[in-house]
Amino acid sequence: MEHKIYRFEELSPELLYSILRLRESVFVIEQQSIYEDIDGLDQEAWHLCIFDKEQLIGYLRLRLIVEKDLAKIERVVVDVAHRSKGAASFLMKVAMQKVIDQTEFKQITLSAQTAVLRYYQKLGFVAHGDTYLDGGIPHIDMSWTRQL
């Protein structure tokens, strides 16, 4: 698996289309979740893509929220044909390492689908608060804190 991290303005039209298509195919079609995927936050985010033979197979969005001194991982998605092969773990580890290497932020947050809560716990994330519906799917807020 190869990976690359892009700023929004570095995304080619073809790659942006592939990202939006992957997000739609999993979140909207597969999970039957009607929500506003194009939310106006992509322009301020980093976009972590993983490829297999130049084909996009996984993606996540990483936003650095300076005023809150934290990073937020969003839109974690892996193509159905590449699941259970370590792609999601690879995405998460690369994103977490980028935050560690390039910021002083003490915390990374995410909104996890409850079906994959244990997966994020294995990466060191801790659940906070009550579950809630996002796009009709149960979620819970989670955070990871940098060990000093």
pLDDT tens per residue across span 2-33: 999 999 999 999 999 999 999 998 887 777 78
The CATH number assigned to the domain holding 30 equals 3.40.630.30
Q: Per-residue pLDDT tens for 41-58?
A: 999 999 999 999 999 999
Rounded to an integer, what distance in angstroms lies between the CA atom of residue 30 and that of residue 1?
24
pLDDT tens per residue, range 63-84: 999 988 899 999 999 998 889 8
* Residue 100 placed within a domain: yes
Task: Tell which wins on pLDDT, 147 or 123.
Answer: 123
Tell me the residue range of the domain where 11 lies: 2-105
The DSSP string of 2-27 is EEEEEEGGG--HHHHHHHHHHHIIII
Domain-located, residue 77? yes
Q: Residue 58 has which token pair?
A: 């996984």
For 90, the token pair is 């690879």
pTM of the model: 0.91
Looking at residue 38, what is its pLDDT?
Answer: 85
